Amino acid sequence: MGLGSDIQQISSAIFYLISRPKQLWREIRLLSTGSCVGYYELLGDDVLEGHNQAFSLSHKPLWLNLGYWKEARTYPDACSAMARLVADTAELCENDTVLDVGFGFGEQDLFWVENYRVKRIIGFNITSSHVERARQRVERRGLSESIDLRVGSATEIALENESVDKVVALESAFHFDTRVRFFREALRVLKPGGKLVLADVVPAIGEKPGGLSHWIGLRRWGVPRANLYDREVYCEKLRKSGFVRINANCISDDVFPAIARYAEQRSRGLSMEEVRIELAADEIGSGKGTALWSSRVGLMDYVIFSAERPRT
């Protein structure tokens, strides 16, 4: 994206915000902190901005991921499918103690305990409002003995060495300051042979976000510039951190086109339950959703990464 295009987009955004003082103040606060905490508090109970229902619907699932839409047609089903893809990649099972870093409202943790019978999940999240809400939901489901959710940092994990079987991060690792520091902590707390699985968003291979509009988007979203590298560099950083059996599975075509259509439908006033996504084959490969994501933050490659701590 060129400088002229950057200036045009930013000028339009500034004009729009000046006419809406409350939104302008919100944007100033987000940019001044550069932290994901403010962003997620802004989102409230919905993954889409401007659709916060303030937890007024007790039946509403509180997913905060973009969804895996290969077979799903509704947003809750797509999010469940993403959680299932992460769980299957991590090979979650009944004997596992799992560390979930950046758990949102704990929807995936409830899903993993109820569907995979995971023995115990320990979660860390730096957004205290998420932790509080997630704990309430866990308690209401009678799962407090299986799910332990705490306020804490991904880069300073308050667990003993070799204390968990699996570490997962579902759409959160791009926020970690830095992701490499998290890799080292994950390696430390994993038992020998333990597995790390991340659903993450990175730049396209060989690309690096640049320009003022990308800087604003990344700053607003709380993504450190140190995390801006593609999947090939990502795998190399995992290797240098001590991991083995590293794999990267790109699923961008089964994420971005459908979530872009979902956002479009919700913007028309449809509820989460009313939106059904049906995409033709040419729409899936069109890059429409990918281009939208790329223009905002420069991240257009959705990848499921997996790696293991060496057994010896």
d(CA 254, CA 204): 16
Q: Tell me the average pLDDT across 82-104.
A: 98
Q: What tokens does 303 get?
A: 């990848």
Instruction: Give the closest residue to 190 by CA, choosing from 256, 125, 242, 237.
Output: 242
Starting at the edge strand found earlier in the chain, the sheet holding 164-170 runs 147-151, 120-125, 97-101, 164-170, 190-202, 301-308, 244-250
Specify the pLDDT at position 158. 97
Task: Read off the tokens for 290.
Answer: 């990918």
Average pLDDT of the residues in 67-85: 97
Q: Give the pLDDT of residue 5.
A: 52
Tokens encoding 73:
């047609």
In the predicted structure, residue 28 carries a pLDDT above the cut 80 = no
Q: pLDDT tens digits, residue range 111-156?
A: 999 999 999 999 999 999 999 999 999 999 999 999 999 999 999 9
Q: What crossing angle do the helices spanning 21-33 and 36-43 adopt, rounded to 10°? A: 150
Confidence of residue 297 (pLDDT cuts 50, 70, 90): confident
pLDDT digits (tens, 9 = 90+) for 157-191: 999 999 999 999 999 999 999 999 999 999 999 99
- What's the pLDDT band for 19 if we cut at 50, 70, 90? very low
**pLDDT the model gives residue 27:** 64
Give the pLDDT confidence score for residue 14 in this predicted structure.
Answer: 46
Give me the chain's average pLDDT, please. 89
Q: Is the pLDDT of residue 8 over 90?
A: no
Query: Can you give the three-state secondary structure of 151-193, one letter per residue?
Result: ECECCECCCCCCCEEEEEEECCHHHCCCHHHHHHHHHHHEEEE
What per-residue confidence (pLDDT) applies to 191?
A: 98
Say what the pLDDT of residue 22 is: 58
pLDDT of residue 12: 47
Distance from C-alpha of 146 to C-alpha of 54, rounded to nearest angstrom: 27
State residue 126's pLDDT score: 96
pLDDT band at 279 (very low <50, low <70, confident <90, very high): confident
Indicate whether 13 pLDDT > 70.
no
Taking residues 66-73, report their average pLDDT. 96
| pLDDT recorded at residue 4 | 52
> Using one digit for the tens of pLDDT, what is the confidence trace for 199-257?
999 999 998 888 888 888 888 889 999 999 999 999 999 999 999 999 999 999 999 99
Helix (H) or strand (E) holding 263: helix 256-267
Residue 29: the pLDDT is 66
For the chain, list the domains and their CATH numbers. 34-46+65-308 (3.40.50.150)
